[in-house]
């Protein structure tokens, strides 16, 4: 054990591994999925809901919280845990993904961009990102990295990777709190050699955990899997590996098979708001006309409130009439589906049957002509 956050492996099955992430606000069994609470809340879902769903850790977004209501306000209200009324572990991203979606001016010092709230000019440096997250009080903070869209020219990807390494060293030097952890981020696009260099040099900086950034942004699955394989082989065995922004079923299965431990994504709740149901036998839209008089639940095997209590016909009605309850119930279902997927993978790794679990889940979802709506 070393530091406020540390990870220990408990079981391995091929490339997949189980472990426990120890944090100041509790332990997290891994592999684990983090529901995304962008503005201090998972949209339409309260802390009590997350507890009932079995969530162990959540993610909050530095960009949005530093602008509204402001990190100092959050700190005054008990830091993020008090502010959100969530007693479990919290990871904050650096805000880099949101910043780089705003077409910022990027220089060695940091980034300059226009606030999406009021249009004011905002400056953010690697040091600022650390300071804001320390004020927010998350258990795990992420360094500010440099993102590029894919595909991009090789010189652009290389420059972003190299700058990210320099920013990582600055982030470590800027730390003031020793009761919280700061994770590094590996970049390098889908180039295996750049990924290897980035992983090795980021590990050499001494971070206790590592994000794998710049993936799940439109690259092909085989490109992402190859990048993850290279990074996993280059990072320390004793440190957690976090694939940032990954949350689709097949992507999670593939990444866990390659030794990754943490994930986050808006997919469960974003899809829910559009009426998309995540299902072991294939995802489908609850808005389809065929469900108008269906008395079946979404999934009889699912223990979430949407499946225990309500029919597909009723849920379709909620979406047809634009009732907010429909968004909430599908959000709860999709989150429970994703959390149960992670629990299933942990159980399979523990039993030494992960390959069979992986193959069966894929077969159910992409088998010839089979889907929940067929």
Cα separation, 142 vs 356, in Å, equals 34
Cα separation, 224 vs 355, in Å, equals 19
Cα separation, 12 vs 238, in Å, equals 13
Query: Exposure string (b/e) for 34-61, b if CB count within 10 Å is 16 or more?
Result: bbbbbebbbbbbebebbeebebbbbbbb
Cα angle, residue 259 at apex, residues 254 and 263 outer, rounded to 5°: 70
Q: Which of 280, 291, 268 is nearest to 370 (CA)?
A: 280
Q: Which of 208, 209, 181, 184 is nearest to 198 (CA)?
A: 184
Cα separation, 164 vs 141, in Å, equals 16
Cα separation, 200 vs 161, in Å, equals 12
Considering 128, 264, 283, 299, which one is annotated as catalytic?
264
Cα angle, residue 22 at apex, residues 21 and 26 outer, rounded to 5°: 110
Q: Do 165 and 199 touch, CB atoms closer than 8 A?
A: no
Q: Do 94 and 62 touch, CB atoms closer than 8 A?
A: yes
Considering 13, 93, 254, 261, which one is annotated as catalytic?
93
Q: Do 21 and 32 touch, CB atoms closer than 8 A?
A: yes
Q: Do 329 and 315 touch, CB atoms closer than 8 A?
A: yes
Any catalytic annotation for residue 340?
no
Any catalytic annotation for residue 56?
no
Catalytic annotation, residues = 93, 264
């Amino acid at each position: 054990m070393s530091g406020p956050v540390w990870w220990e492996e408990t079981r391995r099955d091929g490339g997949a591994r189980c472990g426990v992430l120890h944090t100041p606000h509790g332990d997290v069994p891994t592999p684990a999925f983090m529901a995304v609470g962008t503005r201090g809340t998972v949209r339409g879902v309260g802390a009590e809901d997350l507890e009932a769903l079995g969530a162990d850790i959540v993610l909050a977004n530095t960009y949005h919280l530093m602008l509204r209501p402001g990190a100092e306000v959050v700190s005054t209200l008990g830091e993020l845990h008090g502010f959100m009324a969530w007693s479990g572990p919290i990871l904050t991203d650096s805000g880099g993904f949101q910043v780089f979606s705003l077409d910022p001016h990027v220089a060695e010092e940091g980034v300059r961009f226009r606030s999406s709230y009021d249009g004011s000019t905002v400056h953010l440096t690697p040091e600022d990102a650390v300071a804001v997250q320390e004020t927010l009080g998350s258990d795990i903070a992420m360094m500010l990295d440099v993102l590029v869209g894919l595909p991009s020219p090789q010189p652009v990807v290389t420059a972003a990777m190299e700058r990210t390494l320099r920013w990582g060293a600055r982030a470590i030097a800027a730390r003031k709190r020793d009761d919280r952890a700061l994770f590094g981020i590996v970049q390098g696009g889908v180039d295996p050699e750049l990924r290897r260099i980035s992983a090795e040099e980021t590990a050499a900086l001494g971070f206790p955990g590592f994000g794998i950034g710049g993936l799940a942004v439109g690259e092909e699955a085989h490109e992402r899997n190859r990048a993850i394989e290279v990074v996993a082989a280059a990072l320390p065995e004793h440190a957690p590996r976090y694939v940032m922004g990954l949350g689709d079923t097949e992507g999670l299965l593939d990444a866990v098979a390659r030794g990754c431990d943490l994930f986050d994504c808006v997919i469960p709740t974003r899809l829910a708001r559009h009426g998309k149901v995540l299902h072991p036998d294939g995802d489908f839209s609850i808005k389809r006309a065929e469900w108008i008089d269906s008395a079946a639940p979404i999934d009889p095997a699912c223990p979430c409130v949407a499946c225990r209590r309500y029919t597909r016909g009723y849920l379709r009605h909620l979406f047809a009439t634009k009732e907010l309850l429909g968004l909430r119930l599908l959000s709860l279902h999709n989150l429970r589906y994703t959390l149960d997927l992670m629990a299933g993978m942990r159980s399979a790794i523990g039993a030494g049957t992960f390959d069979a679990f992986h193959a069966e889940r894929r077969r159910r979802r992409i088998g010839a002509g089979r889907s929940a709506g067929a």
